[in-house]
């Protein structure tokens, strides 16, 4: 399992590159395969489409069972809404005698946070707004907990083709008992040369500009916009002075 990082080559770890070099077969969602096109010479490549997750993992396991060294690639980190869990679940359920290594990658939240400044300096949570696998009422409970605990959070999968209101509803829950002035930002294609940022607040955010290539960073009640970006103070200045 190889996490390729979020946007561009500079965010790819040496560990991920070494695993690619060592592999005989590379399996992945077509856009992720395209992103590493210059690393695939001499390898068998299996590109799959969206929603082919189970089949993709199945194919990778079958190649591995036939004795090949396989890299199953994910964007970001393979263990953050990626395929790592499914690989381990199938291997366990089927009692497969395979050596499986999870190579960590930088998750998109880290690239987005860096692009914005330092919004994740304190405790923070990550929630996917995708209700394909998790019922919406369960997602709402998680969001309520974040509002109750006044945590910063990063929202993955903020937009669905079927449901246009996910993000609007999520921001409304995150506003409960908190100032609507809390900073919010969407980062699209974080870490890539085409990265774009939309800024706003919990009470006033351009949700229609957010798509599935974006994630949304929401501050806590101490987070503020500064000339250099979004900051959630760690508390040093308050404790020791500037
Ligand atoms: C299935 S999740 C994959 C997450 C990935 N495994 C990771 O660790 O970053 C896909 C969602 O991640 C977010 N995402 C992935 N790459 C991104 C990027 N470069 N910029 C902004 N959001 C990104 C988007 O919200 C997208 O809908």
Q: Residues 88, 112: one domain?
A: no
Distance 157 CA to ligand 1 centre (A): 7
Q: How confident is the model at residue 126 (pLDDT cuts 50, 70, 90)?
A: very high
- Average pLDDT for the chain: 95
Q: Residues 28, 127: one domain?
A: no
- Does the Cβ of 190 fall within 6 Å of ligand 1? yes
- Does the Cβ of 216 fall within 6 Å of ligand 1? no
Q: Residues 112, 211: one domain?
A: yes
Residue 88 sits in a domain whose CATH number is 3.40.1010.10
Q: Which residues form the domain of 86?
A: 2-93
Q: How confident is the model at residue 73 (pLDDT cuts 50, 70, 90)?
A: very high
Distance 21 CA to ligand 1 centre (A): 24
- Does the Cβ of 28 fall within 6 Å of ligand 1? no
pLDDT in tens, 193-234: 999 999 999 999 999 999 999 999 999 999 999 999 999 999
pLDDT in tens, 163-174: 778 999 999 999
Residue 100, domain member (yes or no): no
| Per-residue model confidence (pLDDT) at position 238 | 86
Q: Residues 114, 220: one domain?
A: yes
- Per-residue three-class SS string for 49-116: CCCCHHHHHHHHHHHHHCCCCEEEEECECCCCCCCHHHHHHHHHHCCCCCCCCCECCCCHHHHHHHHH
Average pLDDT on 51-68 reads 93
Q: How confident is the model at residue 236 (pLDDT cuts 50, 70, 90)?
A: confident
Q: Residues 46, 78: one domain?
A: yes
What proportion of the chain, given as a percentage, has pLDDT over 70?
100
| Per-residue model confidence (pLDDT) at position 139 | 97
Q: Residues 123, 163: one domain?
A: yes
Q: How far apart are CA 40 and CA 33, in angstroms?
A: 9
| Per-residue model confidence (pLDDT) at position 7 | 79
Number of domains in the chain: 2
Measured in whole angstroms, the distance separating CA 150 from the mean position of its chain's CA atoms is 21
Q: How far apart are CA 139 and CA 153, in angstroms?
A: 13
Report pTM.
0.95
pLDDT in tens, 12-29: 999 999 999 999 999 999
| Residue owning the nearest CA to atom 12 of ligand 1 | 156
Distance 195 CA to ligand 1 centre (A): 13
User: Under a CB-based contact definition with an 8 Å cutoff, are residues 82 and 3 in contact?
Assistant: yes
Phi, psi for 78 (deg, rounded to 5): -70, -20
Higher-confidence residue of 188 and 241: namely 188
Instruction: Give SS3 for 166.
Output: helix
| Per-residue model confidence (pLDDT) at position 6 | 95
> SS3 helix, strand, coil % of the chain, rounded to 5?
35, 25, 40
- Does the Cβ of 7 fall within 6 Å of ligand 1? yes
Nearest in space to 104 (alpha carbons), one of 76, 128, 123, 126: 76
Q: Is the pLDDT of residue 83 over 80?
A: yes
Q: Is the pLDDT of residue 162 over 80?
A: no
User: Under a CB-based contact definition with an 8 Å cutoff, are residues 53 and 89 in contact?
Assistant: no
The best mutation among 2, 4, 5, 6 to test binding of ligand 1, ranked by most ligand atoms within 8 Å of the C-beta, falls on 6
- Does the Cβ of 201 fall within 6 Å of ligand 1? no
Q: Residues 82, 116: one domain?
A: no
Distance 25 CA to ligand 1 centre (A): 24
């Amino acid at each position: 399992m190889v996490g390729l990082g979020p946007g561009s080559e500079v965010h790819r770890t040496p560990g991920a590159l070494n695993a690619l070099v060592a592999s005989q077969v590379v399996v992945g969602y077509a856009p992720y395969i395209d992103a590493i096109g210059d690393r695939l010479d001499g390898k068998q490549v299996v590109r799959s489409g969206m929603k082919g997750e189970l089949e993709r993992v199945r194919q990778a396991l079958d190649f591995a069972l036939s004795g090949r060294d396989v890299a199953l690639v994910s964007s970001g980190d393979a263990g953050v809404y990626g395929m790592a869990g499914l690989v381990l679940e199938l291997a366990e359920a089927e009692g497969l005698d395979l050596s499986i290594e999870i190579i960590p990658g930088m998750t998109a939240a880290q690239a987005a946070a860096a692009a914005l400044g330092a919004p994740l300096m304190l405790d923070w949570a990550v929630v996917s707004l995708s209700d394909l696998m998790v019922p919406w009422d369960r997602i709402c409970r998680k969001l309520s907990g974040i509002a109750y605990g006044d945590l910063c959070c990063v929202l993955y999968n903020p937009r669905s083709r079927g449901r246009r209101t996910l993000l609007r509803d999520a921001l409304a829950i995150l506003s409960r008992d908190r100032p609507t002035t809390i900073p919010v930002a969407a980062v699209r294609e974080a870490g890539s040369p085409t990265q774009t940022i939309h800024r706003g607040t919990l009470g006033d955010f351009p949700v229609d500009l957010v798509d599935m290539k974006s994630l949304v960073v929401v501050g806590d009640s101490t987070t503020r916009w500064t000339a250099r970006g979004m900051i959630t103070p760690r508390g040093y200045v308050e404790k020791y002075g500037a």
